């Protein structure tokens, strides 16, 4: 409660122009690609680096919220989320980690697309909703639901980077290409798309071949990849980032390296 009052007081007091705070959407039109694990661990890495970090769980499954042992209050729903302002400020929860807060999901978020349809400018709505938070944080992460929907388009519009975890398999690459095509045909900035390989098993010939083709030769993907590892799978049991449970593990180091690489791709100002 003290934390929420502190944020509300700062927002009510401040009349300054909203500063630039990068918004990173962790998105893939496919599920099961390590999206939430990446959102949780990258948020943790950002917070431990000293950045005031907010992770927004926009997926009705609420997996990020589950990992941080947090849930929304009973009077919170998709409509109140889109209203923004005090409706979301009072929902923000502190986590067990310094500099890291969470805006939890709600099961009603499954209807966010329907709720967005009633807005005058649905594509710009997520930007409007999150605007109130930018004076209190240095970086925002969005854990996004899969598929391409009206909500996805509003996220694409608001995000400065769309980070796409991709398993090095044929179907995952196909889904990634579909996202690129959608950006092109819909007029969204392709420069926002930032893919990386996730759930990598280097012992598999197909994984190695795809990573070589799309990573090393075509240089479409970030250099850092995330391995398929048991300590990442066990996050659902311990409900903690791997950097907190096994800070010296290859998985934790991979997420640390990914965040370090990601910082060089962050824009200095908002995409237009």
Look at residue 55 in the predicted model and tell me its pLDDT. Answer: 97
C-alpha pair distances (Å), 244 with each of 38, 127, 128, 235, 248: 14, 31, 33, 10, 10
Mapped onto helix, strand or coil, the DSSP state of residue 4 is helix
Q: What is the pLDDT of residues 220-256, one digit of tens each?
A: 899 999 999 999 999 999 999 999 999 999 999 999 9
Token pair of 54, please? 């907010």
Look at residue 7 in the predicted model and tell me its pLDDT. Answer: 55
1 pLDDT more than 70? no
> What single string gives the DSSP state of each residue in 203-246?
TSHHHHHHIIIIIIIS--S-S---B--HHHHTHHHH-S-HHHH-
Strand 193-197, strand 161-166: pairing: parallel
271 pLDDT more than 70? no
Residue 249: count of CB within 10 angstroms of its CB: 17
- Average pLDDT value for residue range 150-175: 95
- Average pLDDT value for residue range 101-122: 90
Per cent of the chain over pLDDT 70 is 91
Q: What is the pLDDT of residues 27-55, one digit of tens each?
A: 999 999 999 999 999 999 999 999 999 99
Per cent of the chain over pLDDT 90 is 67
- Higher pLDDT: 38 or 74? It is 38
Look at residue 267 in the predicted model and tell me its pLDDT. Answer: 77
Mapped onto helix, strand or coil, the DSSP state of residue 194 is strand
Q: What is the pTM of this model?
A: 0.90
Q: What is the pLDDT of residues 197-219, one digit of tens each?
A: 999 998 999 999 999 998 776 77
Look at residue 217 in the predicted model and tell me its pLDDT. Answer: 65
- Higher pLDDT: 25 or 85? It is 25
- Average pLDDT value for residue range 126-149: 91
How far apart, in whole angstroms, are the C-alpha atoms of residue 136 and residue 138?
A: 7
Beta strands in 33-134 (DSSP E): 53-57, 93-94, 100-103
122 pLDDT more than 70? yes
How far apart, in whole angstroms, are the C-alpha atoms of residue 94 and residue 90?
A: 11
- Average pLDDT value for residue range 148-160: 94
> Which pLDDT band holds residue 13 (cuts at 50, 70, 90)?
very low
- From the list 189, 201, 191, the residue with the least C-alpha distance to 230 is 201
- Average pLDDT value for residue range 85-94: 90
């Amino acid at each position: 409660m003290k934390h929420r009052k502190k944020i509300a007081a700062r927002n009510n007091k401040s009349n300054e122009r909203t500063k630039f705070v990068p918004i990173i959407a962790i998105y893939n039109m496919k599920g099961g690609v390590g999206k939430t694990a990446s959102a949780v661990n990258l948020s943790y890495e950002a917070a431990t680096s000293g950045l005031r970090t907010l992770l927004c769980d926009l997926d009705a499954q609420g997996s990020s919220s589950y990992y941080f042992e947090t849930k929304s209050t009973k009077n919170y729903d998709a409509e109140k989320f889109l209203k923004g302002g005090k409706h979301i400020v009072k929902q923000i929860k502190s986590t067990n980690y310094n500099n890291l807060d969470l805006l939890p999901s709600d099961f009603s978020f499954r209807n966010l697309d329907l709720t967005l349809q009633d807005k005058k400018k649905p594509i710009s709505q997520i930007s409007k909703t999150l605007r109130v938070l930018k004076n209190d944080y240095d970086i925002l992460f969005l854990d996004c639901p899969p598929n391409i929907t009206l909500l996805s388009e509003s996220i694409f519009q608001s995000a400065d980077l769309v980070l796409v975890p991709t398993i090095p398999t044929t179907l995952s690459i196909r889904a990634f290409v579909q996202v690129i095509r959608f950006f092109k045909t819909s007029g969204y900035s392709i420069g926002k798309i930032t893919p990386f390989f996730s759930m990598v098993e280097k012992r598999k010939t197909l994984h190695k071949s795809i990573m070589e083709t799309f990573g090393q030769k075509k240089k479409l993907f970030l250099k850092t990849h995330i391995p398929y590892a048991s300590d990442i799978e066990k996050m659902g049991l311990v409900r903690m980032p791997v950097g907190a449970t096994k800070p010296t593990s290859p998985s934790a180091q991979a997420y640390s390296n990914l965040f370090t690489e990601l910082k060089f791709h962050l824009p200095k100002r908002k995409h237009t």
